[in-house]
Chain A
Amino acid sequence: MPCKPILIVEDDDDIRDQMMHALEVEGYEVMLAENGKKALGLLTSLTPSQLPGCMILDLMMPEMDGKTLADVMMRDHKDLWGGIRVLIATATSSAAGSDNIPHAMQRIQKPFDLDEFYSAVERHCGKP
């Protein structure tokens, strides 16, 4: 049984496109959102069976940042969206502090190696 889709929330058009490409060539199904607000809209529009199993989340984004999105998902829709595993992909350097997301599985530091990206995705989101 193929694993559930992966949601990429990333404001930089090129990086979003490249991550999508990297996952698709490996056979993953990918969903895209360019900021937190768009991601919320997308998740709301999905039925439970359509929900992604995993989310690769940028932190610094316009409209709604990654931390706010993760907090809203856990606070308001934990029963529906609490099971979506969160991987952080960010260029900000500090792990501690205001942008800390306690339930995130892993933090990938930009710029990352493609191998590191794949192994994190495979560990937390499963094989395609």
Chain B
Amino acid sequence: MNISVETAKVVFNDSECGTLAHEIDWTTHGLGPVETWPSALRIPVSLMLNSGFPMFIAWGPNRVFLYNDAYAPFLGEKHPQAFGRTFFENWSEIWDDISPLIERVDRGEAIFLEDLKLLMHRQRHGELEETYFTFSYSPIRNEAGKIEGLYCACVETTEKVLRRRALEASEARHAFSLESAQMGVWSVDLTTNRVMLSKEARGIVGFDREYESPNEAIDTYIHPEDREHVASVFSSAVRSGAPYKDEYRIVRPDGQIRWLQARGQARYDERSKAVEMAGTIIDVTNEINARERLSEQEAQFRTMANTIPQLAWMAEPDGHIFWYNQRWYDYTGTDLAEMEGWGWRNVHHPDHIDRVVKKVAAFWAGEWKQNEVWEDTFPLRGADGNYRWFLSRQHPIKDEKGNVIRWFGTNTDVTEQMSLQEELRDAVRARDEFLSIASHELKTPLTSLKLQAQLHQRAIGKNDRTAYSPERVDKMMHQTDKQVSRLTRLVDDMLDVSRIRSGRLKIQRERFDLCGLVEETIERMKTQFTDSSYGVPEVVRCEQAVGDWDRLRLDQVITNLLANAIRYGDKKPIKVFVRSHANRVTLTVQDKGIGIADDAKDKIFERFERAINANEVSGLGLGLFITKQIVLAHGGTIGVESRVGEGSSFIVELPKREAR
């Protein structure tokens, strides 16, 4: 026994695994008592247990597994039970991977494998681990040369492999990002002066080569006008140690000029000597062009915005106005300090400001439908304190992603248009009213004539003798005559208006005495005066007044003025005056009737206008318009003097001769 204990002491040291070996009762174990072990086993086991390098030995037909302390961690939780079990028991999960190798060892081959991937089950309840091992398997022969065991020295390389793999992935990513960013990498060895360019960098500059010196690179592809500048910026970055940054033009082999942006940083050795300058280049031609276009556009825009007749402004997406054109300041008499943000409210009209603020705030808050244009019309106070009307519009200015980056608005002065529109509306209203009156006036004589004809027809049909009585016939003839001349006058008036409008009112001059014409006209209208229970107008004064005029047209003037006096004269006496002066005559028709209010005095001479409600007096309201046009065509003037309730005097002044 002593011998055996001694022998065991010689073979097994006091390492952890040596102790395990001591404790095992090898007599009942497949290997038998230690002293019976052949030296081919004893010597390697002793060597192994004393080594700090991970090793194991698998011995005998059962491949009993013995290992050292350095190997134990590879077994994980299988250690320490693994010591003395079989190779297969310990490594069943990787048996498929290693059994071909073991067979080769059995045939006498020594094997060395690097970074073999093995999926091991090292944690009792854990999952399979991906591990990598570099190892050697060698056969152990007995004294007779027969292979009885396998010896393995191994090292786990899992960490190294995974790190290398991560590095590869990161390098691939880096290369990919350089490529996708179209970024080139360059470096200048400051000791040899050699210039290296990455594949991407060569693609950017267009020359697939390296350079003996930075100057050679500069002379090869930098734009001649930029060479001096590039050399100076580069060498000052080398000297100062500050980050290198530059923008310059290059000329590619095909003559194309591109803009590059270069960045870099010098590297220094321990003696503070610059040894390398390395960095990147990217092609920024498109950005530079866009930047130039933008600043050009900006300049154009400001010039334009100050030239346009509108008041213009720009706001942040939230509606904070940060810019107005000069015209805004000129019109409102304000400055940016007063107007910035929501200051514009100060120049709005109190009656409109709440509505405008509410509407625009909703718009800026995005409560409107997309593509809807904001539009409103409101008054703005000018520097003089007066308000003018503006049509306000705003449009969003968007970035490529469609986000609103600012609002651009214009306010167009529409005061003129609005008053024109109003005038137009008034004119249309007056015309419609005229058409309705004209229709009414034309229908009235037609009604009378039609009634008369049908009554007569009916009487004849009934053989009613009274229809032929002299009184009835006389009355009928009188009525017919009156209504027909009324119709004629209406139609004539309308034709005159049409002639005046188209400038076809012709004056046929002949020499006659105006006083005589006035008397003739009054004589012709006598029945109208008596019918209306007026006295015949008194021609208060009639001086002989001979001139060159259109007799028929002046007859019309006198008739219209007298008819007017009958209509509005309140059945009070009408007076007519004719006065002769050196080169002109005046005709005055005076009534003592209802008179004309001051604000109506100008309007009564306009087309389709009359001083009082259409319902109250019949007629087209064209008389005074036509009268005035005839007087004007003679080179004369017409005016009215009147007081409400006291009557009116219409005064016509005519030159005796046609003006040369």
- Chain A: residues with CB nearer than 8 A to chain B? 11-12, 14-15, 17-19, 21-22, 25, 59-63, 65, 91-93, 110-114
Contacts and interface: CB of A to CB of B under 8 A. Distances in A.
Contacts of B412: none
Contacts of B450: 111-113
Nearest to B452: A18
A112 B448 CA distance: 10
A110 B455 contact: no
Contacts of A22: 451, 455
A18 B472 CA distance: 11
Nearest to A59: B615
A91 B448 contact: no
A18 B451 CA distance: 7
Given A92-B436, A114-B455, 9 more contacts: A12-B444, A12-B618, A18-B452, A18-B455, A22-B455, A25-B455, A25-B459, A92-B439, A111-B449
Interface in B378-394: none
30 contacts: A11-B618, A14-B448, A14-B452, A14-B479, A14-B483, A15-B447, A17-B475, A18-B448, A18-B479, A22-B455, A25-B459, A25-B464, A60-B614, A60-B618, A61-B615, A62-B615, A63-B616, A65-B616, A91-B439, A91-B443, A91-B447, A92-B440, A93-B436, A93-B439, A110-B447, A111-B446, A111-B449, A114-B451, A114-B454, A114-B458
Given A14-B479, A60-B615, A91-B439, A21 B455 contact: yes
Nearest to B482: A14
B458 A60 contact: no
B473 interface: no
A117 B614 CA distance: 26
User: 5 nearest interchain CB pairs?
Assistant: A91-B443, A114-B454, A111-B447, A110-B447, A18-B451
Contacts of B617: 62
Contacts of B458: 114
A93 B450 CA distance: 18
Contacts of A65: 615-616
A65 B446 CA distance: 21
Interface residues of B, number: 26
A62 B444 CA distance: 14
A13 to B, nearest CB: 8
B614 A113 contact: no
A123 to B, nearest CB: 19
The interface residues of chain B, by DSSP majority, are classed as helix
Contacts of A61: 615-616
A113 B615 CA distance: 24
A21 B618 CA distance: 23
Interface in B230-250: none
A35 to B, nearest CB: 9
A93 B443 CA distance: 10
Nearest to A66: B615
Interface in B446-490: 446-452, 454-455, 458-459, 464, 475, 479, 482-483
Contacts of B618: 11-12, 60, 62
B211 to A, nearest CB: 95
Nearest to B441: A91
B282 to A, nearest CB: 78
Contacts of B459: 25
Contacts of B614: 60
A68 to B, nearest CB: 9
Q: Which of A59, A60, A61, A113 has the most CB of B within 10 A?
A: A60
B495 to A, nearest CB: 21
A19 to B, nearest CB: 7
Nearest to A68: B615
Interface in B414-456: 436, 439-440, 443-444, 446-452, 454-455
Nearest to B466: A25
B447 A62 contact: no
A12 B448 CA distance: 9
Contacts of B451: 15, 18-19, 22, 111, 114
Contacts of B452: 14, 18
A62 B616 contact: yes
A113 B448 contact: no
A92 B469 CA distance: 34
B532 to A, nearest CB: 10
A114 B460 CA distance: 14
B615 A111 contact: no
Contacts of A11: 618
A110 B444 CA distance: 7
Contacts of A19: 451
A30 B447 CA distance: 19
Q: Which of B443, B447, B458, B459 has the most CB of A within 10 A?
A: B447
Contact of B440 (A17, A18, A60, A114): A60
A112 B455 contact: no
Nearest to B439: A93
B448 A15 contact: yes
Contacts of A59: 615
Contacts of A62: 615-618
A92 B440 CA distance: 6
B423 to A, nearest CB: 24
Contacts of A113: 450, 454
A17 B452 CA distance: 10
B455 A15 contact: no
Contacts of B444: 12, 15, 91, 110
A62 B455 CA distance: 27
B491 to A, nearest CB: 16
A62 B616 CA distance: 3
A52 B50 CA distance: 148
